[in-house]
Amino acid sequence: MFNLSGSELVFLLIAGLVVLGPERLPGVIRRVAKTYGEIRRATAGIEKEFRDTFDEPLADLRNTIDGAKTGFGLVDTEPSPPMRSEMPADPSEIASQDEEAKPE
């Protein structure tokens, strides 16, 4: 939850010692640690309830998606052949192809 490095933690302890004094600092640290633990337990409980509530609908959704993936069968990855032959870029070739295609 809190991402404190060692130097940051030492700085906070020294600042707390200066501000609160050596008599009150241990009690404040205990209260902060107790509150932090209670917050962690509460959020863990909420997370568990959230997972329990949405686990079944998410599983149904995953099954539907998996069914849709396999429902279309195998997909052909090979390109299909062209439906007609390619037209040549040179117009004289078009005329010669037309003459060859005419029945006599």
d(CA 99, CA 94): 9
Q: Tell me the C-alpha distance between 51 and 45, whole Å.
A: 10
Residue 89 located in a structural domain: no
C-alpha to C-alpha distance for 86 and 97, rounded to whole angstroms: 12
Tens of pLDDT, residues 10-46:
888 888 888 888 888 889 889 988 998 999 998 998 8
| Single pTM value for the model | 0.43
Residue 3 within any structural domain of the chain: yes
Residue 29: count other Cβ atoms within 10 Å of its Cβ. 13
Task: Report the number of distinct structural domains present in the chain.
Answer: 1
pLDDT in the model for residue 13: 85
Do the domain assignments include residue 96?
no
Contact status, residue 16 vs residue 28, Cβ threshold 8 Å:
yes
Domain range holding 59? 1-71
In a domain, 102, yes or no: no
> Is 97 contained in some domain?
no
